[in-house]
Structure formats: C-alpha cells, structure tokens
Amino acid sequence: MEPIEDLHVKLNGIRRRNEDQNHYFFPHQAVCELIEPSVLRKTLKGKQIKPYEIEEAAHYLEERGGRRTFAVLVLLKRPHLFPYFIKDDKLQHADIDHRMPYGIEKLEELLSPPVSHEFWDKQWEFTAPFFSDSSFARVLPDEFILPFIKKDKLLGSGALGHVYEILIEPCYLPASPSWQGKVGCNGTFILIFRPLISLKVVRKEFIATCDAAESPRPAFEKELHNLSMLRLIKHPNIVEMLAAYTFKGKHNLIFQKASDKTLGNLLEHPRPRQFASLESVIDALSGLCSALHAVHEFHFPDLSLIGCHHDLKPDNVLVHNDSFLLADFGLSIFKKSNEGSDTSFKQVRGDYIAPECQDLEDLSKKNLIRRLSDIWSLGCIMLEALT
C-alpha cells in the first residue's frame, strides 16, 4: 500500500461521529499524534516535490504545526500542495492551522478549483471548537461540527430552556495545566490533554419564553453575566460554568455535570449512602449556606455587591458526591452595596417562596423582596432535608 493510502486509512480510522448532526469530525489530539514529520516525509516522497522542500516541510510541521492542514490535503489526495500554505505564512511565527477555517476566497488564492472548494468542505471536519473554560461567549459558524460523541440526553426543561447531558471528546474540554508528551504539535510539545472534568457535561439551551417571537438572548446574557461574576469567587458549592456559545442561532451554556441529579430528586427517595447520617446532611447544607452567603455578600478585590438568587428550591440545588451545589442563576441579580437588596419579585411559583413574594389577593401585583426571601427559601429546604 502506498504511504498516502496507508495514511488515508489511518485518518479515517480516528474520526468520530456527532450523532445529532450526523457528521464526522477528526479529534485534534489524535490528528497530532498521527501526523508526524516522518509520516509527512514518507507521504511526500516521489510526489514531484523537491527533496529540500520535503525536508523543510517536515521541519515546519515539527516546529510550527500544520498537522490539520496537511491531513485535509491527504484526504483530498493532494499532500504535495502543503508547501503552498507554508509559503503563505507571511514569515509570521504561528501555526498555520490557526488560520482554519479558511474562507473560500483565501483558498482560491492558494489552490485552483476544484481543489479550493474541496478543501473548504473538508476542513470543517477538523475545526471542532475547544471549550476553553471561559466566560466570553463565542458565536460559532454554522458549518462547525461540535465534538459531541453521543446523542444529547434530555435531563429536564424549564421556563428558560432545556438541559441536556452530553458526552464530549476529551481533548476539547479544559485540560490540566501540566504538559505531557513529546516534541511536536504545539510549538515545543504535543500537548496530551488530560481533562480536569469528566467527559459528561451539561448543556443548557435557551428557548423563547411565552411569546414565540420573544428572543431568548436577554435571558442567556443575564445568566451568563451572573455566572461570569460568580466565577470570580470560585466558591466550591456554586456550580461552575465552563463555556458559553451560540450555534445556529441557539444560545448555550456548558457546565460540569454533578455526580447525581438534584436535591429535589434526592428528597423523593430514601437517602443515599453518602447522606445516611444526619451529620453528612448538615455538612452538605453548611456548604449550601456558605454558597448563598457568597451570593448575598459578593466580594472581589475592589468590588462589593449585594446579590439575590431569587429562585432557591431543591430542583436548583445539585448533588455532587457528598456536597450540595447552588445552581440556576437565571433570575439572580447583583446590585451595588449602597442600593440595598430590595427587588421587584419575579413571577416564580412553588412551595419554597417567601410569603412576601406574592399577594394572594392580587397575583399580578409585584411585591418588593430582598435577601431575606432567599433565606426563607433556604430554611424550607433545610427543614425538608433534615426531616
């Protein structure tokens, strides 16, 4: 078998399928490990390319990158065109893969039709987004293939959106800061990704409320703002957002998945082993109290705010191992300390809202509530959890 045919087979062997989109993608780490300088040399040998060009291309691949670009060309059976991408680097010291996805106009400058169009179509299988532990929301091109490797599992739905469990190819999750591996892909080293979190994560997709014409964007931006603020204090009992993005017009937040479901689910069944003793429940509730206090008295260097959760109930408390995590900050609000915590009540219903939250004789009336309303809700949760 010719080297290019062998590499073509190996590349197709590492691709993964996104079942929801019904498209394949090539995992970044697997591509980095497969496309070695020695592999490039074998593939280009005898392809009407000069020996010194082969050697320089191999050196460029090792020192500067370009593995995904080369892989696309291999799949198109035109690896000899790789030097065209190198010569277009404007003598800038950067991985040419960072220019992906290429626009069709740029590709037509580098490659003649129909190869330019074939490259444009194939490159999307190599551009799956990395969820980089960031509060900046990204807008992803519609052509992207997300690195999800199992059909999304619906966990629940609420007024603002749907919540899904998703399985992500591990190299696209936030990685350990430790570097492992060999000389190559990323400047000096091939970075062997070791996720700090499990492969299963949670995706919250925002939907339009009540009026179908109403955009879900304000709700997305509000919760994103609240979660981004809370990332600053890094409280162990507050759920942490991993990423935010908009894809095909839908706004999404990614969270670490809790080991269990919600406190609401837990209260419907006999206590699991980790909460068999009263002391273990009290410890978990203490962490929840600390989380709510951190919201109420928000402090970060040169910044002090007053916060209210506004929707505290067992279904908005996650169970993670032997801890409770405060979650769902879509209705929360942060204000300057000198403004006080009085806020117009959001129209929430349930058994855990404080008496002052609604006027039973006039349900349309919006009463003023404050942090004490959260404390009432917390007290209800504690009473139910302890009895």
pLDDT digits (tens, 9 = 90+) for 124-159: 999 999 988 889 999 999 999 999 998 999 998 877
Percent of the chain at pLDDT above 90? 70
Q: Please check whether residues 66 and 152 belong to one and the same domain.
A: no
Last-in-domain residue among 211, 241, 256: 256
pLDDT confidence tier of residue 161, bands split at 50, 70 and 90: confident
Of the ranges 83-92, 183-192, 314-323, which one carries the lowest mean pLDDT score? Answer: 183-192
Quick one: which H or E segment has residue 56? helix 51-64
Asked if the structure places residue 133 within a domain, the reply is: no
Contacts of 209 (CB under 8 A, 6+ apart): 159, 160, 216, 219
Structure tokens at 140: 């992803």
pLDDT, one tens digit per residue, over 199-239 is 889 999 998 755 545 678 899 999 999 999 999 999 999 99
pLDDT of residue 183 exceeding 60: no
Reported as a pLDDT band with limits 50, 70 and 90, residue 193 is very low
Same structural domain for residues 189 and 283? Answer: no
- Residue at token pair 């190599």: 126
Residue 178 has a pLDDT of 38
What pLDDT score was predicted for residue 190? 45
In which domain, by residue range, is 320 found? 263-386
pLDDT score of 244 more than 90: yes
Same domain, 281 and 347: yes
Last residue of a domain, one of 103, 126, 149: 126
pLDDT at 367: 59
What is the distance between the alpha carbons of residues 53 and 355, in angstroms, rounded to a whole number? 77
Residue 12 lies in a domain: yes
Domain assignment of residue 309, yes or no = yes
Q: Is residue 89 predicted with pLDDT exceeding 50?
A: yes
CATH value at residue 230: 3.30.200.20
Q: Which of 126, 151, 177 is the last residue of a domain?
A: 126
Do 43 and 103 touch, CB atoms closer than 8 A?
no
Residues 148 and 193 in one domain: yes
pLDDT at 305: 93
In terms of domains, do 326 and 220 share one? no
Residues 21 and 99 in one domain: yes
Q: What are phi and psi of 17, to 5 degrees?
A: -110, 130
According to the model, what pLDDT value does residue 359 have? 56
Amino acid at 357: C
CA distance linking residue 38 with residue 45, whole number of Å: 11
**Alpha-carbon distance 202 to 351, whole Å?**
26
More confident residue, 338 or 251: 251
Residue 186 pLDDT grade (very low, low, confident, very high; cuts 50, 70, 90): very low
User: How far apart, in whole angstroms, are the C-alpha atoms of residue 148 and residue 45?
Assistant: 36
Q: Are strands 153-157 and 161-167 parallel, antiparallel or unpaired?
A: antiparallel
Residue 21 counted as domain residue: yes
Could you tell me if 187 and 285 lie in one domain? no
User: CB under 8 Å to 124, separation ≥6 — which residues?
Assistant: 23, 101, 143, 144, 145
Structure tokens given for 16: 């993964």
Look at residue 143 and tell me if it is in a domain: yes
Do 164 and 88 belong together in one domain? no
- Who has greater pLDDT, 289 or 189? 289
Do residues 214 and 111 both lie within one domain? no
Q: 250 and 278: one domain? A: no
pLDDT of residue 251: 96
Q: Is residue 131 part of a domain?
A: no
- The total domain count for the chain is 3
pLDDT, residue 91, reads 84
Q: What is the mean pLDDT of residues 187-202?
A: 57
Q: Based on the fold, state whether residues 118 and 196 are members of the same structural domain.
A: no
Element (DSSP H or E) covering residue 293: helix 278-296
Query: How confident is the model at residue 173, as a pLDDT?
Result: 86
Could you count the other beta carbons within 10 Å of the beta carbon of residue 52?
Answer: 8
Residue 331 placed within a domain: yes
Q: Do 275 and 379 belong together in one domain? A: yes
112 within domain boundaries = yes
Contacts 24+ apart (CB under 8 A), 281-287: 281/385, 281/386, 282/386, 283/322, 284/322, 284/323, 284/324, 285/324, 285/381, 285/382, 285/385, 285/386, 287/236, 287/237, 287/323, 287/324
User: Residue 135, Cα to own-chain centre: how many angstroms?
Assistant: 10
Residue 94 is predicted with a pLDDT of 82
Whole-number pLDDT of residue 176: 47
On whether the CB atoms of residues 300 and 211 are closer than 8 A, the answer is no
- Average model confidence (pLDDT) across the chain: 87
Q: Is there a contact between 358 and 345 (Cβ–Cβ < 8 Å)? A: yes
**What is the predicted pLDDT for the residue at 350?**
66
Residue 156 or 6, more confident = 6
70 CB-near residues (< 8 Å, 6+ apart): 35, 40, 61, 79, 82
Contact residues for 269 (Cβ-Cβ < 8 A; gap 6+):
none
